[in-house]
Structure 1
Amino acid sequence: MTKRERFEKFLANEPVDRVPVAFFHHFTTEQEWLTGLKDEAAFEKNIEGHRTARAKFDPDVIKIMNDTLMIMPVDTSFVKTPADLRKIQPPMPGSAFFEKSKELTKRVVAIYEGSDAPIYITAFSPCIILRNSISGMDIGTEVAHSKLYSFLEEDPDSVMAALDIIADSVNALNKMLLTECGAEAVYLSVNIQAHYVPDEFYAKYIAPSDKKVLAAANELSRFNMLHICGYHGKSNNLELFKDYDVPVFNWAVHAEGVGLAEGKKLFGGKPVCGGFAQAETIYTGTREEITAEVCKYLDEAGQVGVMLGADCTVPTDIDDERLEWVRQAAIQYAATPRVKL
């Protein structure tokens, strides 16, 4: 099968010649994240990292890593009360952020010319964007989110209004990148990692903006993916996301303690992606250990509607040859007769 044919079969929960493999990593340091509007060197490094990586591992699934433009900038410096959130003005078409995002996406798509692999853009939920704007990139601790939590307790309607405003901007950005830049689908990162608000708050006040973004994305593409981010082992409540209307689910198998087979049931039998821990065997294991882990995951979940990947981005300095080891192990697994006991 070609990469496209294999992915189409995966998406349709149909048998494949071997499971597709989808690992992603950043191309810049954390200090360079979000600096693309002011640091041209970091912006170029972000783009060129894709070229270097492709030379070593031509991926089954392409995800444009927008490290230096990763989270949409929203000015909340004037926000003193929850009601002030209603006045935020996220970037919109024609802004420097939109134009720079368009440049990055088009240039990375050109790097993958000749590949028939599906191309994802990376997007973040309105809540992650709002949290970053008021608390910075420390997105995994209760302290970082205490301000958002207090705003929700005091005036949830104003927080919801702000999330809705941001959702409109995210939708406009996604539409531009998918209709003008050659990308094909949205990889949407959401989370309630570290449980920064109570579950009932997330379901009532935050989830609607996630779903608004997904609804708009689903009008543009039929293979969007939900990434329930468990970055560096931070857990989520997967139950909060099981009714999200999205074709493919990815979550932190190891952080959540929910394997691929169990997760596939939780998410209504839809295709799933994952398996490997973020920085364990895939990063430090021998080829034999990686092969054994591939067999373990596929023994558990089967090869239909399953794509091998990781809990989140693998380390930036990973040897991309390791990703080829996973692919070769998947090929070997598919070619080896399995005996059911």
Structure 2
Amino acid sequence: MADKRQLVLDAFNNKPTERVPVGFWFHYTKDELKSAYDLPEMREQNLAGHKKFYEGFKPDFVKLMSDGYFFEPKTAAFLRSAKSAKDLYGLQPIATDDPWLKDQVSLVKELTSAFGKEVVTLYNIFAPATAFKWSVEGGDKKLAALIKEDKDAVIYALGVIAQNTQILAKAVIKEGGADGIYLSVQSIQDASVGPDTYAEVVSPAEISILTAANSVGGVNVLHVCGYEGAKNNLSIFKNYPAKAINFASVVEGISLKNGKEIFKGKAVIGGFANIKDGVLYSGTKEEVQAETKRLLAEAGKTGIILGADCTIPRDIDFERLEWVREAAK
């Protein structure tokens, strides 16, 4: 049997594989939105959770979670303090040796040292617009209002955040030993920010991060996030330079087969709902395996990796994930 690293890399490259790979992930801390600089214990919780999951499930590949380090603290504080769009011009990049960068590289290195030789590892990174909207009161509505007020100021701010994130993306690959990044993007959840505005204001920063990760040999996944039912216009992201795409097929109501067509034949990841009402969490073994077989019958087995819309519940039994892998063989 081929090793798991080659299995996943072949699937990413749309090559025939002896079985369809399976990938699931979840958060390992009690509240992933908190900061490890406020709660230092989050780092050890994150490390221990990864290792427990790896030993308990032996996953085909591992998405390395950035719990505790989602958003750079000084940047987030600046964004919260901005009173108007023009204030955003005061945002400056962080130093290349900033603790937020160094601490994540060391986190990734510890995890890849533990199991990176056996499986592909991808480090979770949030796109600049996501970091922006989750850092300010009002979220998507606030970001949409700032774009309307002065889109050039927002483009500037997203560009600064992207500079920081490009450094991070390259460092976790070159120094941390990750195979690539898993970049999480999401349409602005406000009707005023349509596809054309998104392409002009938001996309350049996102594409720049993938380009940076590609430049150091990263095998990178784009995640179009449907968190809490958020809807996305998938066509916005169809030309992003990622190796594979994980999109919320259940939330979007778009099959893996159709998603593969939208993304011009690239490998796709997903298929299962990530909520507790979904079959993966609550179905019987027979139901989970029947859904696995249905997904593959519809989508085929080339360039397909079975997974979920997003992170799955923390308390899911690993045996349920094995049911999927068993049925996919």
TM-score, with structure 1 as normaliser: 0.90
Q: Which residue of 2 aligns with 1:217?
A: 213
Q: Which residue of 2 aligns with 1:65?
A: 65
Structure 1 position 90, deviation (Å): 4.5
Instruction: Name the stretch that deviates more: 165-174 or 91-100.
Output: 91-100
Q: Is the 8 A contact 2:292 2:324 kept in 1?
A: yes
Q: Is the 8 A contact 1:195 1:236 kept in 2?
A: no
- Pick aligned residue for 2:135 from 133, 136, 150: 133
* Structure 1 residue 38 corresponds to structure 2 residue 33: no
- Pick aligned residue for 2:109 from 106, 110, 113: 106
Q: Is the 8 A contact 1:37 1:96 kept in 2?
A: no
Deviations 1:85-136 (A, max 9, x none): 12113533221212221222122223325x421110111111111112223x
Rounded Cα–Cα distance in structure 2 between residues aligned with 1:197 and 1:210: 20
SS at match of 1:315: coil
Q: Which residue of 1 aligns with 2:171?
A: 176
Rounded Cα–Cα distance in structure 2 between residues aligned with 1:324 and 1:284: 14
SS at match of 1:23: coil
- Pick aligned residue for 2:96 from 90, 93, 98: 93
| RMSD of aligned Cα (Å) | 1.6
Q: Which residue of 2 aligns with 1:292?
A: 290
Q: Which residue of 1 aligns with 2:273?
A: 277
Number of residue equivalences: 322
Amino acid at match of 1:221: G
Q: Which runs of 5+ in 2 are unaligned?
A: none
Rounded Cα–Cα distance in structure 2 between residues aligned with 1:213 and 1:37: 24
Structure 1 position 221, deviation (Å): 2.7
Q: Which runs of 5+ in 1 are unaligned?
A: 136-142, 332-341
Rounded Cα–Cα distance in structure 1 between residues aligned with 2:313 and 2:8: 25
Amino acid at match of 1:117: V
User: 1:223–1:102: structure 2 CA closer, same or farther, 3 Å change rule?
Assistant: closer
TM-score, with structure 2 as normaliser: 0.93
Instruction: Name the stretch that deviates more: 155-164 or 62-71.
Output: 62-71
Amino acid at match of 1:260: L
Q: Is the 8 A contact 1:222 1:247 kept in 2?
A: no
Structure 1 position 275, deviation (Å): 0.3
| Structure 1 segments of 4+ aligned residues over 6 angstroms from their partners | none
Alignment of 1:10-49 (within 5 A): 10-30=11-31, 32-49=32-49
Q: Which residue of 1 aligns with 2:142?
A: 147
Amino acid at match of 2:28: F
